[in-house]
Amino acid sequence: MDQAPRSPQPRRRPRKHVPTPVQLGVRPSTLLWRGLFIRCPACGGRHVFRNWFAMADRCPTCTLRFERVEGHWIGSLGLNTTVVFTVMLLVLLGGSIVTYPDVPLGPLLGTEMAIALLGPVVFFPPSRTLWTATDLLMRPLDAGEIDPRFVVVDPERDRRPRGGT
Ligand SMILES: [Zn+2]
């Protein structure tokens, strides 16, 4: 019987640092894999996009709000750009090495242009879910961010050590 009366203290947000994978009971790589395959990183749920360009505000399965903070999507933009540039570089290097010394400049440039134009579009959905996964790995879930049924370890709820009775 150690139930203290509820004191009206302001919630000072006890920063119990429990990483998101522990909160959700999954491996860190699971979050990234789910993101890569355009699923909700937190629960693995589908239908996080209404169409190729329109992402749902919240996961229809676990209610996670994907835009976790203002400016959240800048990260996905950076990720998308990095991936597309990397692919362009690899194609340029690979194409040049394989065809050396008769490097077909025209076709190679055409391919690069096609990647530059289509790459960001093709990679748009996974860049968003993958970035959300990355963000979840860096910043743990706050209380109420997700349907509590998906949370395995909740620093608020599980504050008392287990094994009492
Ligand atoms: Zn979800």
pLDDT tens-place string over residues 121-163: 999 999 999 999 999 999 999 988 999 999 998 877 766 555 4
Whether the pLDDT of residue 6 is over 60: the answer is no
Of 132, 116, 21, give the one whose Cα is nearest residue 73. 132
Q: How high is the pLDDT of residue 16?
A: 63
- From ligand 1's centre to the CA of 48, what distance in Å? 8
Q: How far does residue 16's CA lie from ligand 1's centre (Å)?
A: 23
pLDDT digits (tens, 9 = 90+) for 76-110: 999 999 999 999 999 999 999 999 999 999 999 99
Cα of 64 vs centre of ligand 1, distance in Å, is 6
Distance CA 100, CA 96 (A): 6
- The conformational region for residue 55 under phi > 0 = left, psi -120 to 50 = alpha, else beta, is beta
